[in-house]
Chain A
Amino acid sequence: MYNGKYIIPGLIIFLALVLFPFIKGAGLGPLKVETEKPKNSKECVLKTEKMRDVHMVLLNEWRDDVIRNGKRVYTNESGKQFNMSLTNTCMGCHENKDKFCDKCHVEVGVNPYCWNCHNTSPLKKEGEK
């Protein structure tokens, strides 16, 4: 191979770098994050697994429904109705952002800016932990 002595080691280094995260993570179980569960409520808007996957999609849909379509009530699969509000519904149950939202967000390194505007709890003063 023309210039094989550069290309082959180069390819090996490249593959090693690309595959490193997969090799390092091999054999480890799924990522586990312990979050604080709401005290006064058992049922979430969606099932836990589904919520884990699509809460950001749901929030986007809620925002569009509330602001654009003037629709403010969400009915879930079991027929329970919710006020479509991050501040008043989600944060009303999950009253500690740092013990719930932040847990996963920090773990996976995402930094959503919801709380630049939305209060971290509708029930107590901001700044209180």
Chain B
Amino acid sequence: MQRSRRDFLKLAGVSALGLSAGTLGFLGEGAQAADALPSAADFAKPAKAKQWGMVIDTAKFDDALFKKCIDACHDNHNVPKIEGKQEIKWIWTEDFEGSFPTERPAFLAEAQEHRKYLLLCNHCANPACTRVCPTKATFKNDEGLVIMDYHRCIGCRYCMAGCPYGARSFNFRDPGEFIAKDKLNLQYPHRTRGVVEKCTFCVEKLAQGKLPLCVEASGGAMVFGDLEDPKSEVRKVLKEKYAIRRKPDAGTDPSVFYIL
């Protein structure tokens, strides 16, 4: 993990240049992704872990960085843009009360009170969503990722009722109509009407030994690694900084930590 992180930082510098060049030309993230197709060789060195986890340094975020991280995810994963109650979101923001409703601090410090928090699926160690899925469409894999087999999802939405964090969205309509054609990432499928979708911790990137897209886009404000490995980057950060999780009393053991 340590080595790959160092490599990542080097890479991040170079790709930041590439990114800024891309945005000059009005290219979305999706359009930039349309280069060489991933081949078998790209999956030769997957990143491995027992339980992937994430630490989010909330003080480092502003609106621009939120947008950058959210766009990196949503554009690359073909997440449709729908307003209102039928919104589909893999990663989104919320205020303190919405993010940590069980904290209930009296006289909360202003900085924390006015801050927004980046939310996504917690890839819980003890997820509620997978226990209620009648078809095992959603399940926890051996790297601690909670992922979906959309082919098996019958759209019953039990998982959405089960998740205490609102991390799942249902496709009430055909999502294809709500993805801008010029933004479509052709190398990644979109979903269909009648299935539930959510963040995957970029399982397809980890399989290529890369970091999740939001973590890459955050420029260091998010740290990613194996929570079960005491030498991992996330564990190092957690050793030094006090971090909280969303609704710990729900008993799902979330894997996303927030430094306030």
Q: A70-B207, A116-B192, A127-B181 are in contact. Are A88 and B37 (CB under 8 A)?
A: yes
Known contacts A83-B39, A117-B192: does B187 contact A88 (CB below 8 Å)?
Answer: yes
Given contacts A70-B141, A117-B190, contact A63 B38 (CB under 8 A): no
A residues 111-125 in Cβ contact with B at 8 Å:
113, 116-119, 121-125
A61-104 vs B, CB cutoff 8 Å, 1 = contact: the mask equals 00100011010111000000111010111001000000000000
Q: Please name 13 further chain A to chain B contacts, defined as beta carbons within 8 Å, in addition to the given A72-B46, A89-B37, A122-B37, sorted by A numbering.
A: A67-B147, A70-B141, A73-B40, A73-B44, A83-B43, A85-B38, A87-B189, A88-B187, A116-B192, A119-B187, A119-B189, A121-B186, A126-B181
Q: Name the B residues within 8 Å of A116 (CB-CB).
A: 192
Contacts of B188 in A (CB 8 A): 87, 119
Instruction: Give the number of chain A interface residues (Cβ < 8 Å).
Output: 27
Complex contacts, B141 vs chain A, CB 8 Å: 68, 70
**B192 touching A119 by the CB < 8 A rule?**
no
Chain A residues positioned under 8 Å from B189 (CB to CB): 87, 117-119
Q: Could you say which residues of chain A place their CB within 8 Å of the CB of B41? A: 81
* B42 interface contact, C-beta 8 A: yes
Chain A residues closer than 8 Å to B44, beta-carbon distance: 73
Evaluate contact between B184 and A119: CB separation under 8 angstroms: yes
Q: Evaluate contact between A119 and B186: CB separation under 8 angstroms.
A: yes
Contact residues in A for B39 (Cβ distance below 8 Å): 82-83
Q: Which 4 A-B pairs have the closest CB atoms?
A: A81-B40, A116-B192, A117-B189, A72-B43
Interfacial residues of chain B within 179-214, with CB under 8 A of chain A in the complex: 181-182, 184, 186-192, 203, 207
| Cβ–Cβ contact B186 & A63, under 8 A | no
CA distance A69 to B37 in the complex (A): 22
**Number of residues on chain B facing chain A (CB within 8 A):** 30
* Complex: chain A residue closest to B39, CB-CB: A83
Q: Mark B34-63, 1 if CB is under 8 A from A, else 0.
A: 100111111110100000000000000000
C-alpha spacing A122/B139, complex, angstroms? 28
- The 28 listed contacts between A and B (C-beta, < 8 Å) are A63-B149, A67-B149, A68-B149, A70-B141, A70-B203, A72-B43, A73-B43, A74-B40, A82-B40, A83-B39, A83-B40, A85-B38, A87-B187, A87-B189, A88-B37, A116-B192, A117-B150, A117-B191, A119-B184, A119-B186, A122-B34, A122-B37, A122-B186, A125-B186, A126-B181, A126-B184, A126-B186, A127-B181
B143 at interface, CB cutoff 8 A: yes
Residue in chain A with minimal CB distance to B43: A72
Determine whether B151 belongs to the interface, using a CB cutoff of 8 Å to chain A.
Answer: yes
| Identity of the chain A residue whose Cβ is nearest the Cβ of B42 in the assembled complex | A83
Q: Which residues of B contact A118 (CB under 8 A)?
A: 189
Determine the distance from Cα of A85 to Cα of B187 in the docked complex, in whole angstroms: 10
The residue from A70, A83, A124 contacting B142, defined by CB atoms under 8 A apart: A70
Task: State how many angstroms separate the Cβ of B132 from the closest Cβ of chain A.
Answer: 19
A83 with B38: CB separation less than 8 A: yes
Closest to B193 in A: A116
Distance in Å: Cβ of B93 to nearest Cβ of chain A: 27
The docked-state distance in angstroms from the alpha carbon of A34 to that of B23 is: 43
User: How far is A89 from B40 in the complex, measured between Cα atoms in Å?
Assistant: 10
Instruction: Give A51 Cβ to nearest chain B Cβ, in Å.
Output: 18
Residues of chain B within 8 A of A70, CB atoms compared:
46, 141-143, 203, 207
A117 to B193 CA separation, bound complex (whole angstroms): 9
